[in-house]
Amino acid sequence: MPDRKNAPQIIDAVDMHLELKPYESYTLDNGVEVYAFNGGEEEVLMVELVFFAGNWYEKKNIVAATTNFMLKNGTKKKNAFALNEHFEFYGAYLNRHCYNETATITLHCLSKHLSELLPVTAEIITDSVFPEQELLIYKQNQKQRLEINLKKCDFIANRLIDEYIYGFHHPYGRYTSTLDYEELQREELDAFYKQYYTNGKCIIFTAGKLPADIIPQLNKAFGHLPFQQNSLSDKQFNPAPAELLKYNILNDPEGVQGAIRIAQPFPNRHHPDFSRMQVLNNIFGGYFGSRLMSNIREDKGYTYGIHSHLQNHIHTSALVVSTEAGRDVCEATIAEVYKEMAILRTEPVEEEELALVRNYMIGSLIGDLDGPFHIIARWKNYILNGVTDEYFYNSIDTVKNISAEELRELARKYLNPEQFYELLVV
Amino acid sequence: MIEYDRFVLDNGLRVLVHQDHSTPMAVVNIMYDVGARDENPEKTGFAHLFEHLMFGGSIHIPDYDEPLQRAGGENNAYTTNDLTNYYCQLPAENIETAFWLESDRMLSLAFGEKSLSVQKKVVCEEFKEHYLNKPYGDVWHKMRELAYKVHPYRWMTIGKELSHVENANIDDVKAFFWKHYRPVNAILVVAGAVKPDNIKRLAEKWFGDIPMGEKYHRHLPAEPKQTEARRSEVYAKVPVDAFIKTWHMDARLEKGYYVADLITEILGGGASSRLYESLVKEKQLFSALDVHHWGSTDKGLLAIEGRLVNGITLEAAEQAVEEELAKIQAITVNENELQKVKNKTESMIAFEDMSVMNRAASLATYELLGDAQLMNTELGKYQEITVADIQQYCKEIFRSSNSNTLFYHAQK
């Protein structure tokens, strides 16, 4: 019979070797930078084109997201069906996403089909036509989707909390109404597309089992497109946080749960407190064993889950606590969140818990660096945020060495209820 | 080709080891041969509630999560109508911690009252979050009840109603554990930066002395063949009408399953699929449309569901769907279209297999189905399917008498 009472010996994850494997970088003929990571066992790869075409750059609400969405809805040579058919025939996934600063086109495919897929990806960047009919269908369906989402308390809460933190005029705080869809014009998409995609700034990330001629292939497809790598205006927005801190919104009189958001602005990752705050956030509400989860889910059963996180924005960030809790225990949940803040402000985290969190964070970092797609995703995040692998090693250093006293100082600085926006949507 | 070693302990625990030394991590995955289909119809949602209780402390270890996190690990679990799966990932050096934790909770839970009372509340909140406090959240509750009269697939994994979860008591918990959570009803898969010899040693050491338990033999009532079309209408406070229609299809290991999988892709997989092109784009009847099937072990359902464009009637939407189904039965799909969905399947499998965690769970799933080696022969089964198979199976399943239709009306 093994000794079941005592845990087996472990090697502390903090003592394990951690390395962020380097990328290789290239420049295509037109100046486009390519960051590549070759690796993996399966014969698959991804190519991601990042454009500076997020809603940061739009003049009118929803133009950036719609332009991005409609990239697959028709070029001069292929209609929407033919475009989709081409990628799907090769079992490839061509996804596009619009974020705040950037918008992406991402190809995932079996490595053997790459050469069939790159030319059509390039066609999308230069020859998209945004057919009127496709736009009409898109507007109609998106409006309907929005109407359904507006019935959900969590959807409403996510929109409003961002508005309180950043202000509606700020790209991070803005959201969409059905009227925005109605007012969209084809010409606006076309103009945005030409400026920010066809003649915009592009960076390419690629990872997976890369063919030996990956760079010549990328150069052939994208190296002669008319990108303007220095075309970006330095557009700045200043957040205008709301004056009132506390909000109660009634969305569904018959709902059985409420959505709670408790948030405050926080600097971006260039601020020295950012990676320190990652540690405090983990203890507070960042993982399954966090204070919020242990108390509010595992002890009281008020919710299926409660989390806190630092938003992953480039310009400026926010610390957000979010949960959906039983309607009759929402107020009690909010009170417990503040109680946990108070404990972190007054009592130093005990060494046992701190050691656990250090190991957990390093362990999940090791897990997160598993495989070529994860590695390039981390590099992409660093490159777009203007940090280097120094940030990676410094963060690890912070996780390993931050003291209980420093964490308490941090909690005193950032976990004060009077600094938080508090929102309850029921 | 996924390679693995397999051995069985004296107590019947099946162990599979899959090596991948490109990662510093190890995955420990334990699958138990029990799901919502094994529940008492008066106590539904129990298998899933039980999954929560597996984290509430075992006989020698008060808390599962903490020591795992201390060892740099993370974990999760899920329950389906067919099975329950627990998995954790941690740095391979610390793998013994996972053996210690998993074997102790297989040996015996602590059966604490507090854990039960808290997790009943947590699961009720999960129920509300996903199925009650959401527009259309109850669609599948209703559809399951319509399509199944006998087989336990007639209720959702989360349970038929909140009261079933609320009424669970500690005696139910104990009985369920001793019946289903025995080595003879479990499969352990270890994957990642591990050596089979060492895993064998660890498996013997930690799991070897757990009493075998009784093999659970499932005797579920088979769903009688449906002989006439079933229809139902619902009125709810939702913004737009929704349409959902399902057809019974083959079980996981039957040939029809693979054919149905490809039919699903042809009809609704992606923006070049038939229904998307015809009903969303051309005719603009649906604002959102989805074709899918359950992937269940026993005979499951293939479903077409969507939300209607304002002003379109459910009758018109249904008729258009039926026209497409008539077409795929009358005219053989062309070879190119079949090749497309086969290519998609090949690619989907390759992407799924990228993660060690997915590979471990797949091995366990196939072992539970009868043979882990199925994981390596799966793609071949899709490749063998012909256009004639597609046509023939469409004729077989898309009969009106095999269908269940739900009109989900927006209450004005």
* Contact residues, chain B, for A39 at CB < 8 Å: 22
* Window from B48-52, B128-132, B320-324, B367-371 with minimum mean pLDDT: B128-132
Tokens 């540690």 sit at which residue? A279
**Cα–Cα distance between B124 and A398 in angstroms, integer?**
39
Substitution target from A1, A78, A85, A108 for chain B, most B beta carbons within 10 A: A85
For the cut 90, the answer to whether the pLDDT of residue A7 exceeds it is: yes
Q: What is the pLDDT of residue A234?
A: 76
**Cα–Cα distance between B392 and B370 in angstroms, integer?**
28
**Cα–Cα distance between A336 and A289 in angstroms, integer?**
16
> Is the reported ipTM for this assembly greater than 0.90?
yes
Substitution target from B88, B94, B266, B345 for chain A, most A beta carbons within 10 A: B94
Q: How far apart are the first and last CA of chain A?
A: 53
Substitution target from A15, A21, A86, A88 for chain B, most B beta carbons within 10 A: A88
**Cα–Cα distance between B73 and B97 in angstroms, integer?**
9
Tokens 């959906």 sit at which residue? A324
For the cut 80, the answer to whether the pLDDT of residue B390 exceeds it is: yes
Residue A41: pLDDT band by 50, 70, 90 thresholds? Answer: confident
**Cα–Cα distance between A150 and A143 in angstroms, integer?**
10
For the cut 80, the answer to whether the pLDDT of residue A81 exceeds it is: yes
For the cut 90, the answer to whether the pLDDT of residue A243 exceeds it is: yes
Who among B90, B117, B125 is closest to A326 (CB)?
A: B125
Residue A262: pLDDT band by 50, 70, 90 thresholds? Answer: very high
Q: What is the pLDDT of residue B171?
A: 97
For B143-171, the pLDDT digits (tens) are 999 999 999 999 999 999 999 999 999 99
* Pairs from A177-184 (Cβ < 8 Å, separation ≥ 24): A177/A61, A177/A146, A178/A143, A178/A146, A178/A147, A180/A60, A180/A61, A180/A62, A181/A62, A181/A139, A181/A142, A181/A143, A181/A146, A182/A139, A182/A143, A183/A60, A184/A60, A184/A62, A184/A63, A184/A66, A184/A135, A184/A139
Are B132 and A256 a contacting pair at CB < 8 A? yes
For the cut 90, the answer to whether the pLDDT of residue A17 exceeds it is: no
Instruction: DSSP letter for A355, please.
Output: H
- The answer to whether B55 touches B64, Cβ cutoff 8 Å, is yes
Q: Can you tell me the mean pLDDT for A321-339?
A: 97
State the amino acid at position B66 in one-letter form.
Answer: E
Query: 316-355 in A: which are within 8 Å (CB) of B?
Result: 324-326, 355
Q: Can you tell me the mean pLDDT for B298-311?
A: 97
- The answer to whether B34 touches B84, Cβ cutoff 8 Å, is yes
State the amino acid at position A265 in one-letter form.
Answer: P
- The answer to whether B45 touches B79, Cβ cutoff 8 Å, is no
Instruction: DSSP letter for A417, please.
Output: G
Who among B20, B281, B351 is closest to A44 (CB)?
A: B351
For A268-301, the pLDDT digits (tens) are 999 999 999 999 999 999 999 999 999 999 999 9
Note whether A7 contacts B: Cβ–Cβ < 8 A: yes
Q: What is the pLDDT of residue B33?
A: 98
* Contact residues, chain B, for A356 at CB < 8 Å: 66, 69-70
* Contact residues, chain B, for A364 at CB < 8 Å: 72, 74
For the cut 90, the answer to whether the pLDDT of residue A233 exceeds it is: no
Q: What is the pLDDT of residue B223?
A: 97
* Contact residues, chain A, for B24 at CB < 8 Å: 16, 366, 370
For B14-55, the pLDDT digits (tens) are 999 999 998 999 999 999 999 999 999 999 999 999 999 999
Are A370 and B25 a contacting pair at CB < 8 A? yes
**Cα–Cα distance between B40 and A243 in angstroms, integer?**
55
Tell me the pLDDT of chain B averaged across its residues: 97
* Contact residues, chain B, for A84 at CB < 8 Å: 270-272
CA distance A234 to chain B (A): 37
Q: What is the pLDDT of residue A40?
A: 85
For A189-201, the pLDDT digits (tens) are 999 999 999 999 9
Closest CA to B37 of B225, B218, B173, B164: B218
- The answer to whether A55 touches A64, Cβ cutoff 8 Å, is yes
Residue B412: pLDDT band by 50, 70, 90 thresholds? Answer: confident
Residue B97 DSSP SS3? helix
Are A42 and B284 a contacting pair at CB < 8 A? no
For A368-383, the pLDDT digits (tens) are 888 899 999 999 999 9
Tokens 């009281």 sit at which residue? A300
Q: What is the pLDDT of residue A1?
A: 82
For B311-326, the pLDDT digits (tens) are 999 999 999 999 999 9
CA distance B226 to chain A (A): 34
- CB count within 10 Å of CB B241 equals 19
* Contact residues, chain A, for B117 at CB < 8 Å: 301
List Cβ neighbours of A155 (8 Å cut-off, separation of 6 or more). A149
**Cα–Cα distance between B272 and B277 in angstroms, integer?**
6
Are A137 and B281 a contacting pair at CB < 8 A? yes
Are A360 and B89 a contacting pair at CB < 8 A? no
Q: Write out the two tokens for A20.
A: 């962020």
Q: Write out the two tokens for A390.
A: 């120094």
